[in-house]
């Protein structure tokens, strides 16, 4: 288990690997394995049989595979780069904030 500061629908940027520098939206977060699925990143080809694909045809399809959560950073619109995420506690409310500029992310 890992401490997750990235949530579904966040914009992230990849910081290492063959897709370094690519940005995308988080589609799925697996907290137990520490992995995130990012739209348009880490695409691989998969061979599927007739019954396994959505359209009922077999063949080779291209799909996104999960990345380790440590390989992505939150993308701040104000800073225009990948940033670390902190927490701001005010009263009973908790908010995620950009560590660089202090902008609220939630």
Q: Rounded to whole angstroms, how far apart are CA atoms 96 and 83?
A: 12
pLDDT tens digits, one per residue of 35-52: 999 999 999 999 988 877
- Does residue 46 sit within a domain? yes
Q: Is residue 105 part of a domain?
A: no
Into how many domains does the chain fold? 1
- Lowest model confidence (mean pLDDT) among 22-26, 53-57, 67-71, 76-80: 53-57
Name the helix (H) or strand (E) containing 75: strand 72-76
Question: For residue 77, is it within any domain?
Answer: yes
The reported pTM is: 0.82
Round the average pLDDT of the chain to a whole number and report it.
89
Query: Considering the domain boundaries, does residue 5 fall inside one?
Result: no
9-38 residue pLDDT tens: 999 999 999 999 999 999 999 988 999 999
Strand ordering across the sheet containing 67-68: 67-68, 35-38, 23-30, 11-14, 72-76, 81-83
Range of the domain at 67: 11-98
Domain with residue 33: its CATH number is 2.30.30.30
Q: Look at residue 104 and tell me if it is in a domain.
A: no
């Amino acid at each position: 288990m890992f401490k997750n500061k990235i949530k579904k629908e966040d914009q992230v940027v990849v910081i290492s690997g063959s897709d370094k520098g690519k940005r995308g939206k988080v589609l799925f977060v697996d907290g137990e394995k520490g992995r995130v699925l990012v739209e348009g990143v880490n695409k691989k080809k998969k061979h599927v049989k007739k019954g396994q694909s959505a359209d009922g045809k077999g063949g080779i399809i291209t799909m996104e595979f999960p990345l380790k959560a440590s390989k992505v950073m939150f993308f701040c619109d104000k800073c225009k780069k990948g940033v670390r995420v902190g927490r701001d506690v005010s009263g009973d409310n908790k908010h995620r904030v950009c560590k660089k500029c202090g902008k609220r992310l939630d």
